[in-house]
A = this chain, B = another copy of it.
Amino acid sequence: MKSASSFDARDFRQALSMFATGVTIVTARGDDGEPVGLTVNSFNSVSLTPPMVLWSIAKSARSRPVFSGDAHWNVHILAEEQEALSNRFSRAGEDKFFGLTLERGVSDAPLLPGCSARFQCQTAFEYDGGDHTIFVGKVIAYDRSNRAPLLYLSGAYALASRRAADVATQPSAMPSAPYSENLLGYLLGRAHYQFMAGFRQRLQHYALSDADFFILSLLVVREPMGDDELATHIGYTGAAADPRSLLSMVDRGLLLQADGYRLSPAGRDAILDVLASAKSAEAQLVQQLGEQDAASLRNLLKKCILASDPGLPALWTTP
């Protein structure tokens, strides 16, 4: 426990940053008609009756006087796609509004599009808050969208995922078990297998193993591929490309051998049919998770993949 005499500004900020927040941009228009805006995460709701919100700004900030008196200002809760806008409005000295399409609100304060929610306010109170001024505003108008909001936490942007209350960690009934249902490895495997179960019937219809499926999926994106190139892509699974798998698919008329491996018309039909089925499993999963959680999951899986990346060449970049 650190006590006041030993406060280090950086460490104190780190402790405060454990409190997650959304990210907002607060805008107003100066007496000279120039638009003013800054990125703020000290926003919060205050009152319902009357509707009021608050935020704070450094007393030293050049734009602070613009918000005083009975000024009008707009608070924009940023959506997850607006990270670049957040960065732009957190820096001084550039024309923050350059190229932006502004909407017209109840006042002449700039109103930015594409946000998760917006509040059009007028200063009600201006309070002392140490090295900051706290502005409390009466909300005159507001709107919201279904866009997933951007988060800020521990000094970095973040995404939120709704908590799965009904899959709370299940304490092991067998504490001596060498692994538990809470291990990422177990969960990754189970989620992957269950996802594949959604179209395994189509795989079985064409008598395709997981390895076969993998090879056909590669060739549908790029062909021909030689043994070496296939081996490189399959390499990230840690398994060597099984020559028997390839030969068997040639025997079954799914692959053609000419300058490496190509899909036969029958092979192309088979993999496109399986992929169509995989796509509908994908759509179902995204619908069940919701867009926001699906975006968070993609984000985290990409981090996993990067963390354990064996240096696989990107399939989609032209060779």
User: Which positions in A face B, CB cutoff 8 Å?
Assistant: 1-4, 7, 9, 12-16, 18-22, 24, 41-54, 56, 77, 80, 83, 105-106, 116-120, 124-125, 127-132, 134, 136, 138-144, 149, 151, 153-154, 156-167, 170, 172-174, 177-185, 187-198, 200-201, 217, 220-222, 236-239, 272, 275-276, 278-279, 281-282, 285-286, 288-289, 292-294, 296-310, 314-318
Q: CA separation between A56 and B50, bound complex, in Å?
A: 15
Are B200 and A316 neighbours in the complex by a CB distance under 8 Å? no
Are A179 and B217 neighbours in the complex by a CB distance under 8 Å? yes
Give chain B residues whose Cβ lies under 8 Å from the Cβ of A56. Answer: 44, 46-47, 54
Q: CA separation between A127 and B127, bound complex, in Å?
A: 8
Are B19 and A43 neighbours in the complex by a CB distance under 8 Å? yes
Cβ distance A108 to chain B, nearest Cβ, rounded Å: 15
Q: CA separation between A164 and B197, bound complex, in Å?
A: 29
| Nearest-neighbor residue (CB-CB) of A9 within chain B | B48
Q: CA separation between A236 and B196, bound complex, in Å?
A: 9
In addition to A42-B45, A151-B160, A164-B306, 7 A-B residue pairs with Cβ atoms within 8 Å of each other are A42-B46, A46-B132, A163-B299, A167-B299, A178-B272, A178-B279, A181-B316
The number of times this chain is found in the oligomer is: 2
| Nearest-neighbor residue (CB-CB) of A42 within chain B | B44
Are A47 and B132 neighbours in the complex by a CB distance under 8 Å? yes
Give chain B residues whose Cβ lies under 8 Å from the Cβ of A315. Answer: 181
Give chain B residues whose Cβ lies under 8 Å from the Cβ of A124. Answer: 130
Give chain B residues whose Cβ lies under 8 Å from the Cβ of A120. Answer: 1
Are B298 and A182 neighbours in the complex by a CB distance under 8 Å? yes
Are A161 and B161 neighbours in the complex by a CB distance under 8 Å? yes
The residue that A51 contacts in the complex, of B7, B194, B197, B299, with Cβ under 8 A, is B7
Are A303 and B289 neighbours in the complex by a CB distance under 8 Å? yes
The residue that A130 contacts in the complex, of B4, B41, B50, B166, with Cβ under 8 A, is B50
| Nearest-neighbor residue (CB-CB) of A167 within chain B | B302
